[in-house]
Amino acid sequence: MELRPKIDPAIYASANVSCLSHLAKTVTAIKGKLAPRQLAMFRKTIFSHLLDVDLVFNGPLVHNILLREVEDSTTDSISFNLFGRKVSFGRREFDLISGLKYDGSLVRKDTHVHRLRALYFNDRSDLVLSDLEDLYEAAQFQDDFDAVKVSIVYMVEMVLLGRERTVKFDQTLLGIVDDWEVCCNYD
């Protein structure tokens, strides 16, 4: 089986790879913000394991692996030539590594962002991630469930989506977490 590279080795170039996930800072903020009972509630969510991850990002390693991406006929996976072997990373592997799950069932429901946005984000629709950080740290939560819900949004935006702090944050997440059934079954 021939492993055809997606990038011709003759045109490899050096590059710097950055990690925009703000795991350490976000975990510190969540652990510092939540009361013990709220933190215990957060630990019952699908994101609980992220509170204990000690991530060390290695940009050169990521760059070198990405240069070894090979053609793959599978649409929902990515494959690499590592030491002459095809190594693939698909949805199942993502689930195993991330601790998240994918069961194939879609849950779609109209959700409304207004309640949490009005309570904790000054009802602003133009917030960027740096605003989310500031408002999260200043928030005085009305109840434990709101504290956990807003902390989930904070974790997803700052860690899982990994974007620049100047990017507008997706406020549909506020509606998703505010409807607990949708949140627990969202894909």
Contacts of 63 (CB under 8 A, 6+ apart): 14, 15, 16, 17
Asked whether residue 33 falls in the same domain as residue 121, the answer is yes
Residue 103: predicted pLDDT: 61
Contacts of 118 (CB under 8 A, 6+ apart): none
Burial of 170 (0-12, 13-18, 19+ CB in 10 A): middle
Q: How confident is the model at residue 180 (pLDDT cuts 50, 70, 90)?
A: confident
The 8-class DSSP code of residue 78 comes to: E
Per-residue model confidence as pLDDT tens digits over 62-72: 999 999 999 98
Last residue of a domain, one of 71, 98, 125: 98
Domain span at residue 158? 23-56+103-184
Percent of the chain scoring above 90 in pLDDT: 57
Asked whether residue 158 falls in the same domain as residue 179, the answer is yes
Asked whether residue 179 falls in the same domain as residue 108, the answer is yes
* Separation between Cα atoms, residue 88 and residue 118, nearest integer Å: 44
Asked whether residue 132 falls in the same domain as residue 174, the answer is yes
Asked whether residue 167 falls in the same domain as residue 120, the answer is yes
Asked whether residue 129 falls in the same domain as residue 149, the answer is yes
Find the mean pLDDT for residues 173-185: 82
Find the mean pLDDT for residues 117-131: 93
Give a yes or no: residue 4 inside a domain: no
Give a yes or no: residue 109 inside a domain: yes
* Separation between Cα atoms, residue 163 and residue 80, nearest integer Å: 25
Is the pLDDT reported for residue 104 higher than 90? Answer: no
Last residue of a domain, one of 44, 79, 98: 98
Last residue of a domain, one of 36, 67, 98: 98
Per-residue model confidence as pLDDT tens digits over 34-53: 999 999 999 999 899 999 99
* Separation between Cα atoms, residue 93 and residue 97, nearest integer Å: 6
Asked whether residue 88 falls in the same domain as residue 133, the answer is no
Per-residue model confidence as pLDDT tens digits over 77-97: 999 999 999 999 988 888 787
Q: Which residues pair with 5 in a beta bridge?
A: 70
Asked whether residue 122 falls in the same domain as residue 171, the answer is yes
Per-residue model confidence as pLDDT tens digits over 133-153: 999 999 999 999 999 999 999
Q: How confident is the model at residue 55 (pLDDT cuts 50, 70, 90)?
A: confident
Question: Are the beta carbons of 130 and 165 closer than 8 angstroms?
Answer: yes
Q: How confident is the model at residue 116 (pLDDT cuts 50, 70, 90)?
A: very high
Question: Are the beta carbons of 129 and 167 closer than 8 angstroms?
Answer: yes
Query: How many domains are there within the chain?
Result: 2
Asked whether residue 69 falls in the same domain as residue 151, the answer is no
Give a yes or no: residue 2 inside a domain: no
Residue 101: predicted pLDDT: 65
Asked whether residue 47 falls in the same domain as residue 130, the answer is yes
Asked whether residue 78 falls in the same domain as residue 168, the answer is no
By C-alpha distance, which of 20, 21, 19, 17 is closest to 67? 17
More confident residue, 100 or 8: 8
**Sign of the CA dihedral running 104, 110, 115, 121:** positive
Is the pLDDT reported for residue 186 higher than 70? Answer: no
Asked whether residue 109 falls in the same domain as residue 90, the answer is no
Q: Which of 2-6, 160-164, 179-183 has the lowest mean pLDDT?
A: 179-183
* Separation between Cα atoms, residue 176 and residue 159, nearest integer Å: 17
CA triple 40-120-143, angle to 5 deg: 40
